[in-house]
């Protein structure tokens, strides 16, 4: 993110900082989208010239930040500071029925128990028109152009194992305090998201490779992350509604039998 440099008359940055009315008007959560990070696969919209999300720099295995249509090399990776995790059951219209998102169910919904697995391994709802995909959602901050940006990472299919490994890594972190060893909050550490190739008898694709990067050193960001975590834990993200879950933002579950 570019920062305006100071000129001979002083720093414009200080002027920007002093303005109380930011010019955002009556913008609410209904007028915003939730930026997401995803992996660019062979058939991802970022590689399709007819897609509004097309990015000429996108290559398979790159990471994509939807907030600014930014592509980052999967080898270089993106730093991510997690603040909250939940699981949802996403309902998609079957691809042969036209595809697309239908709705998002909470993890404790009985919709999965009322669904049956078809010959392709998909969980088909009683209507026979849609399928259910278990989706792991990691909320936090991605370091984009040297600035932390709130966003979500949603994992489905074979990516779920990487979500479980990440949660295990986070909860396994220990620090020594005045009272001895303790488990720090998830947002005490940055993690590095990279990609690597996986394959099975149906093909190959790119998956997440997640490692602990470094301890958070910014006290102001820690305070902000703590508030964001509490907001999510209190159901704040649900206020944004299912409008944030589009087929371009969450990997279509019809791919999960391959990926």
Burial classification of residue 21, based on how many CB atoms lie within 10 Å of its CB (0-12 exposed, 13-18 middle, 19 or more buried): exposed
Q: How confident is the model at residue 247 (pLDDT cuts 50, 70, 90)?
A: very low
Instruction: Look at residue 119 and tell me if it is in a domain.
Output: yes
Residue 246 above 80 pLDDT? no
Instruction: Look at residue 21 and tell me if it is in a domain.
Output: no
Instruction: Look at residue 28 and tell me if it is in a domain.
Output: no
Residue 188 and residue 207: Cα distance in Å, rounded?
A: 25
Compute the Cα dihedral for 137, 87, 128, 200 and give only its sign: positive
Q: How confident is the model at residue 52 (pLDDT cuts 50, 70, 90)?
A: confident
Residue 206 and residue 8: Cα distance in Å, rounded?
A: 49
Give me the pLDDT at residue 201, please: 82
- Section 25-39 average pLDDT: 67
Q: How many domains does the chain have?
A: 1
Instruction: Look at residue 226 and tell me if it is in a domain.
Output: yes
Q: How confident is the model at residue 13 (pLDDT cuts 50, 70, 90)?
A: low
Domain range spanning residue 244?
Answer: 33-255
Residue 6 above 60 pLDDT? no
Instruction: Look at residue 81 and tell me if it is in a domain.
Output: yes
Residue 245 above 60 pLDDT? no
Instruction: Look at residue 7 and tell me if it is in a domain.
Output: no
Instruction: Look at residue 17 and tell me if it is in a domain.
Output: no
Lowest mean pLDDT among 9-18, 24-33, 49-58: 24-33
Instruction: Look at residue 27 and tell me if it is in a domain.
Output: no
Give me the pLDDT at residue 198, please: 93
Give me the pLDDT at residue 237, please: 73
Lowest mean pLDDT among 39-43, 162-166, 168-172, 232-236: 232-236
Q: Which secondary structure element, helix H or strand E, spans residue 36, and what is its range?
A: strand 36-39
Residue 41 above 90 pLDDT? yes
Residue 105 and residue 124: Cα distance in Å, rounded?
A: 14
- Section 134-150 average pLDDT: 96
- Section 132-145 average pLDDT: 96
Residue 116 above 70 pLDDT? yes
Give me the pLDDT at residue 239, please: 55
């Amino acid at each position: 993110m570019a920062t305006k440099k100071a000129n001979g008359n002083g720093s414009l940055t200080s002027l920007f900082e002093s303005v109380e009315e930011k010019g955002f008007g009556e913008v609410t959560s209904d007028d915003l989208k939730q930026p997401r990070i995803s992996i660019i696969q062979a058939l991802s919209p970022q590689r399709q010239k007819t897609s509004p999300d097309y990015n000429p720099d996108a290559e398979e295995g790159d990471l994509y930040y939807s907030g600014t249509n930014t592509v980052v090399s999967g080898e270089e990776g993106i730093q991510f500071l997690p603040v909250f995790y939940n699981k949802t059951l996403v309902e998609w219209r079957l691809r042969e029925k036209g595809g697309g998102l239908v709705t998002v169910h909470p993890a404790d919904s009985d919709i999965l128990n009322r669904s049956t697995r078809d010959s392709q391994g998909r969980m088909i709802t009683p209507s026979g028109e849609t399928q259910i995909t278990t989706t792991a959602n990691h909320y936090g901050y991605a370091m984009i152009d040297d600035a932390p940006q709130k966003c979500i990472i949603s994992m489905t299919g074979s990516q779920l194992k990487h979500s479980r490994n990440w949660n295990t890594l986070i909860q396994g972190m220990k620090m020594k305090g005045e009272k001895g060893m303790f488990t720090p909050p998830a947002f005490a550490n940055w993690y590095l998201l990279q990609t690597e190739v996986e394959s099975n008898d149906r093909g190959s694709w790119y998956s997440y490779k997640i490692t602990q990067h470094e301890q958070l050193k910014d006290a102001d960001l820690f305070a902000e992350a703590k508030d964001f975590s509490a907001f999510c834990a209190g159901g704040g993200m649900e206020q944004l509604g299912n409008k944030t879950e589009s087929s371009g933002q969450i990997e279509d579950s019809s791919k999960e039998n391959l990926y």
